[in-house]
Homo-oligomer: A and B are copies of this chain.
Amino acid sequence: MNLHDLMRELHEENKSKIVLLVADGLGGLPLELGGKTELETARTPNLDALVREGVCGLSLPVLPGITPGSGPGHLGLFGYDPLQYRIGRGILEALGINFEVGPRDVAVRGNFCTVDGEGKITDRRAGRPTTERCVEMCQRMREIKIPGVEVFVEPVREHRFVVVVRGDGLADAVNDTDPQAVGVAPLAAKGADAPSQKTADAVNAFIAEAGRVLKEHAPTNMVTLRGFARYPKIDTLKEIYGLNAAAIAVYPMYKGLARLVGMEVLDAGATLGDQMETLRKVWDWYDFFFLHYKYTDSTGEDGNFPAKVEVIERLDAEIPKVRALNPDVIIVTGDHSTPSKLKSHSWHPVPTILWADSCRSDRVTEFGESQCLHGGLGRFEAKHLLTLAMAHAGRLAKYGA
């Protein structure tokens, strides 16, 4: 019996409220041996109060040593095994620009490139066009009609765009057309099976037409596509966990990820204060609230240790607004670590608080990596966190007689 079968069997309804606050890339590293991490450096009186009353631990987003992207990182926190459920690059790109992908869609990331008179690539990024130009060229490609499918072309930024092919019976086992080299022509798309070949046929026809409409617009005179991905079939949080879930996120990708698992995506405003205001307004309408805070990740990616410390302190300042609503369970965690020392996502386990009246509190007194190591949740796979939240919310029946 897998985790989801178990949850389907055991989940119960009640009036409890669960708040999952994801500080993206929360975990960090000290800059020097024996030093403090960003989180340990930050003054976090409100998080520390949660820590003292709650139970702490370190979350492994996927497996030891595995650095997750945003997709697997969030799926784990949403209670989905990130090794079982995969969200392809094309879909994630589409989610990131707020394109509402659906079950009949195959999405793929596109790049403008430059080809010579013989059709051979001379620049794989078409000289990095402006985003304005990207928008203009995507507009041209929107004229293209391919029989049997709908095609959507959406600009992203510079040389990057998204193509979504919508139709019945499409699949995504299609090779990248980007040859990852110059001096050669883009590759033809080929499907590994009949439904994927249907996608490949549509895409090859689209690329031929794109070459025609872009012909006079060097350096953006051709396109390559990579990361074909079908809309993943994912049972919802409602179906598996019985939760009416709402997402209060600012950035499109996280809204999209939440929508994939069946959360209702709410209008959140632009700041954490706005998000808290939304939370307050909709408090009575949902069981489960996913709040996403981006800046712990972006400051880490920038390698800006003091800025990461500062945005953690800003997050801390908003915690009383969550507590004022009297939730039954509050979780504060991250989808992965983003140490400013490494300027990237990393594999290091993520400090986590679970606060609830029924938790077995531990001796952790301050929110930080070193202390969480000795917390009552131990080191746990992220996919189990929602089960723990459900338990502490009184939403899980006993397993077996």
Residue numbers of A with Cβ under 8 A of B are 1, 3, 6, 10, 29-30, 33-34, 37, 52-53, 58, 62-73, 82-84, 86-89, 92-93, 227, 341-342, 344-348, 358, 360-363, 369-370, 373-374, 376-380, 384, 387-392, 396-401
**CA gap between A374 and B375 in the complex, in Å:** 9
Q: Please give the count of copies of this chain that the complex contains.
A: 2
**Nearest CB in chain B to that of A391: its residue:** B65
| Contact residues in B for A69 (Cβ distance below 8 Å) | 398-401
Write the nearest CB–CB distance from A394 to chain B, whole angstroms.
9
| Nearest-Cβ distance from residue A378 to partner chain B, whole angstroms | 4
The answer on a CB contact under 8 Å between B33 and A70 is: no
Pick the contact of A66 from B33, B34, B396 — CB < 8 Å? B396
Measured between C-beta atoms, what is the minimum distance from A25 to chain B in Å? 12
Are A63's CB and B384's CB within 8 A? Answer: yes
Contact present for B358 and A362 (CB under 8 Å) = no
Residues of B near A363 (CB, < 8 A) are 370
Complex Cα gap A378–B73 (Å): 21
Question: Are A396 and B65 neighbours in the complex by a CB distance under 8 Å?
Answer: yes
In the complex, chain B residues whose CB is within 8 Å of the CB of A58: 378
- How far does the Cβ of A303 sit from chain B's closest Cβ, in whole Å? 14
Q: Are A84 and B1 in contact (CB under 8 A)?
A: yes
Give bound CA distance, A367 to B33, whole Å: 18
Residue pair B87, A399 in contact (C-beta under 8 Å) = no
On whether the beta carbons of A92 and B401 are closer than 8 Å, the reply is yes
Q: List 19 A-B contacts (CB under 8 A).
A: A29-B358, A29-B360, A30-B361, A33-B53, A33-B361, A63-B384, A65-B384, A65-B388, A67-B391, A68-B398, A69-B399, A70-B400, A88-B401, A92-B400, A345-B398, A346-B358, A347-B391, A360-B369, A378-B379
B399 touches A68 (CB 8 A): yes
Distance, CA A396 to CA B69, complexed state (A): 12
Which of A65, A348, A374 gathers the greatest number of chain B CB atoms within 10 Å?
A65
CB distance from A130 to the nearest CB of B (A): 24
Q: Is the interface of A mostly helix, strand, loop or mixed?
A: loop
With the chains together, A92 CA to B400 CA distance in Å?
A: 9
Which B residues lie within 8 Å of A361 (CB)? 30, 33-34
Interchain CB contact (< 8 A) of A67 among B53, B65, B345, B396: B396
Contact B64 A380 (CB under 8 A): yes
- A392: chain B residues within 8 A (beta carbon): 65
Interface pair A89/B401, CB less than 8 Å apart:
yes
The docked-state distance in angstroms from the alpha carbon of A73 to that of B401 is 10
Q: Beyond the given A67-B397, A88-B401, please list 15 additional residue pairs across the A-B interface where CB-CB is below 8 A.
A: A29-B358, A33-B53, A58-B378, A64-B377, A64-B380, A65-B390, A67-B396, A69-B398, A71-B401, A82-B399, A82-B400, A89-B401, A346-B358, A348-B360, A360-B369
Contact B33 A400 (CB under 8 A): no
Tell me the complex Cα distance, A68–B53, Å: 25
- In the docked arrangement, what's the CA distance between A210 and B344, Å? 66
Q: How many angstroms from the CA of A373 to the CA of B376 in the assembled complex?
A: 7
A360 to B84 alpha-carbon distance, docked (Å): 28
Which single member of B33, B93, B388 contacts A401 (CB below 8 Å)? B93
Report Cα–Cα, A86/B377, bound state, in Å. Answer: 27
Residues on the B chain within 8 Å of A400, using CB: 68-73, 82, 86-87, 92
Q: A95: nearest residue on chain B (CB-CB)? A: B401
CB distance from A380 to the nearest CB of B (A): 6
Q: Is the CB of B1 within 8 A of A391?
A: no
